[in-house]
Amino acid sequence: MVASALFIMDLKGKIIISRNYRGDIPMTVSERFATYLQEKEESEQRPIFTEEGCTFAYLKYNNLFLLSVTKRNSNVALMLVYLSRLVDVFKEYFGELEEESIRDNFVIIYELMDETMDFGYPQTTEAKILREYITQEGNRLEAAPRPPVALTNTVSWRSEGIKHRKNEIFLDVIEKLNLLVSANGTVLHSEIIGAIRMKSFLSGMPELKLGLNDKLMFEASGRAVSASTKGKAIELEDIKFHQCVRLARFENDRTISFIPPDGEFDLMTYRLSTQVKPLIWVEAVVEPHSHSRIEYMIKAKSQFKSRSIANNVDIIIPVPSDVDTPSFKASIGTVTYLPDKDAIVWGIKQFHGQREYLMRAHFGLPSIAAEGSSANATEKCWKKPVQIKFEIPYFTVSGIQVRYLKIIEKSGFAALPWVRYITCAGDVYLRMGT
């Protein structure tokens, strides 16, 4: 039901480090994986495949493959989630996971592989707890460390006896907007993926309770929505909690209560798919003149309140791969041509609400079409969707609000929560003309 072996490999399938957990497969199976990568067209590759009785399940991360192999009808969801968690652990230990950082830390990676998985069963993947007894050379103790109690405790993510001189807690409410708009301006799909990210620096074993303007919670607590809040209550479609949150309690009366891990973590993520109008609307008029030139006229319009500002706006417009001699004219910001991405990027540092800007781009096209590229191929290039990136601080699309954060600890310290809101673009795509 689990993994037989684990490999971390480079993009060619060469092993960088590996661990055989069950001894029921030869480690040479990795060669079959390398062959698979070479022989299968990329469009035919799947993250899970079986060859001669061995099943390979892998994740791609940076320039690495994390691969686990099994001979049984294993829980592949578990295998893949474990791999992604392992990446998180390594990142927390080494900053970034790449070939070099693995070599630099191979001793500790072996230790982590041994501790996070036993006989193919994931054990503990809490980097903060692992760090208490698997340490890097810099702060190695002479005496052998003992396993932290938290390892096997109900509260497996926090050790006892944490002390902070200043007790503080920060909450970032970050909303990502995923939006897909058809060429005629219809919103095909829009959803908000929100996260409440905490940075907790609290002493002892604090009990926390978080209050949101959650409609269902108001209903559960029997309060009338309008009487208890000034703002409106919102309805979250799905919520996922960090393992520290007591799920049964939430299920019962929608109370979010927990003992937080120390440091940074995502307390919860939520999703809602309300119809929002695109915060930044882009219209593109493209005039291709075969074999001579192609012209773009791009109009960008902000559709949020005038006192808000969108920062670092990037509007990425696809262009054919064989264009030359770019020239741009924009009423604001800068335009860059990225030949390797076959796109132009219109960057606007600050985009105020309720404004509208224009940009024109002009390219030459080769007079003779390249071998094999028909007019159709050119057409496809500029029909890729336009992508938009932005960040809008002090604003959430959903209107979610943190109403309170109660902190109870037996030492009775006082700590103020700091709350920030920000909205940014996730996958925002506007399809181009049909």
Partner 1 sequence: MSISSTINQITRNARAAVGQIGGGSDSRFFHNTSKKGETHELREELQSQNKDKKRDAVKKVIANMTVGKDVSMLFTDVVNCIQTANVELKKLVYLYIINYAKSNPDLALLAVNTFCKDANDANPLIRALAVRTMGCIRVDRIVEYLCEPLARALRDDDPYVRKTAAVCVAKLYDISPDMVEDRGFLDVLRDLICDSNPTVVANAVAALSEIQETSGQDVILITGSVLQKLLAALNECTEWGQVYILDALSRYEPADEVEAEGIVERVTPRLQHANSAVVMSAIKVVLGYMELCNPDVVRTLTRKLAPPLVTLLNSEPEIQYVALRNINLIVQKRPAILEHEIKVFFCKYNDPIYVKMEKLEIIIRLASDRNAEQVLLELKEYAQEVDVDFVRRAVRAIGRTAIKLERAAERCINVLLELIQTKVNYVVQEAIIVIKDIFRRYPNRYEQVIAALCENLETLDEPEAKASMIWIIGEYADRIENADELLDSFFLDSFLEETPQVQLQLLTATVKIFLKQPAETQALVQRVLNMATEGTDNPDLRDRGFIYWRLLSHSPQVARAVVLGEKPTIADDTFALEPALLDQLIHQLATLSSIYHKPPEAFVVRMAVPVGHVTGGVGEEYDDDLEYLEGEIGVIGAAKGPSKQAAGSGNGGGTGGEVDLLDLGGVDEAPPATTGGKDGGLDDILGGGGSNGGGTAGSSQANTQVDRPLVCTPEQGGGIGIRAALRQEGGGIFCDMTFQNTGPTPFQVLAIKFNVNTFGITPASPQIAFPAPVPQGGATNYVLPLTFAPSMVASGAPPSLQLQTAVKNMASGHVFYFAIPYDLSVLFAASGQTDRAGFIPAWKAIDDANEVTTLAGSLPPALSSPDAVVSRLGSRHVAFVARRPVPGTTQESLYLSAVTVTTPPVHFLVEITLQAGVASAKLAVKSQSQTLAPMACAAIEGLLRN
The interface with partner 1 within residues 270-289 (CB under 8 A) comprises 271, 273
Interface segment toward partner 1; rule CB under 8 A; list 293-301, 332-340, 346-354, 425-433 = 425-433
Q: Which is nearer to partner 1, 360 or 384 (CB)?
A: 384
Q: Would you call 179 helix, strand, or coil by DSSP?
A: strand
Q: Which of 33, 304, 421, 429 binds partner 1 (CB under 8 A)?
A: 429
Q: Closest approach of Cβ 173 to partner 1, in Å?
A: 16
Q: Which is nearer to partner 1, 205 or 330 (CB)?
A: 205
- Copy the structure tokens of residue 347: 């960057």
Q: Could you give the CA distance from residue 63 to residue 83 in angstroms, rounded to a whole number?
A: 15
The interface with partner 1 within residues 294-333 (CB under 8 A) comprises: none
266 binds partner 1 (CB under 8 A): yes
- Copy the structure tokens of residue 235: 């309805």
Q: Could you give the CA distance from residue 284 to residue 360 in angstroms, rounded to a whole number?
A: 10
C-alpha Rg value of the chain to the nearest Å? 26
Interface segment toward partner 1; rule CB under 8 A; list 44-52, 202-210, 287-295, 355-363 = 44-52
Q: Which is nearer to partner 1, 180 or 332 (CB)?
A: 180
Q: Could you give the CA distance from residue 398 to residue 238 in angstroms, rounded to a whole number?
A: 13
The interface with partner 1 within residues 88-107 (CB under 8 A) comprises: 93-96, 100-101, 103-107
414 binds partner 1 (CB under 8 A): no
- Copy the structure tokens of residue 369: 């079409």
Q: Which of 114, 253, 295, 324 binds partner 1 (CB under 8 A)?
A: 114
Of all helices (H) and strands (E), which one includes residue 192? strand 187-201
Closest listed residue to residue 270, CA positions, set 157, 397, 87: 397
Q: If phi over 0 gives left and psi between -120 and 50 gives alpha, with beta otherwise, what is residue 56?
A: beta
The interface with partner 1 within residues 230-259 (CB under 8 A) comprises: 237-243, 245-248, 250-251
The interface with partner 1 within residues 45-64 (CB under 8 A) comprises: 45-53, 55, 57-60
DSSP label at 234? B
Q: Closest approach of Cβ 183 to partner 1, in Å?
A: 9
- Copy the structure tokens of residue 218: 């108001």
124 binds partner 1 (CB under 8 A): yes
The interface with partner 1 within residues 65-84 (CB under 8 A) comprises: 70-78, 80-82, 84
The widest CA-to-CA distance across the chain, in whole angstroms, is 79
**Residue found under tokens 């960088």:** 16
378 binds partner 1 (CB under 8 A): no
Write each residue from 139 to 168 as x if it is in contact with partner 1 (CB under 8 A), else as -, in one continuous string. Answer: xx---xxxx---xxxx-x------------
Q: Closest approach of Cβ 91 to partner 1, in Å?
A: 10
CB atoms within 10 A of CB 242: 16
What residues have CB less than 8 Å from 234, skipping those under 6 apart? 213, 214, 215, 272, 398, 399, 400
**Residue found under tokens 């094999």:** 372
- Copy the structure tokens of residue 32: 């079959």
418 binds partner 1 (CB under 8 A): no
The interface with partner 1 within residues 187-206 (CB under 8 A) comprises: 188-189, 191, 193
Site residue total, partner 1 (CB under 8 A)? 115
Q: Closest approach of Cβ 191 to partner 1, in Å?
A: 7
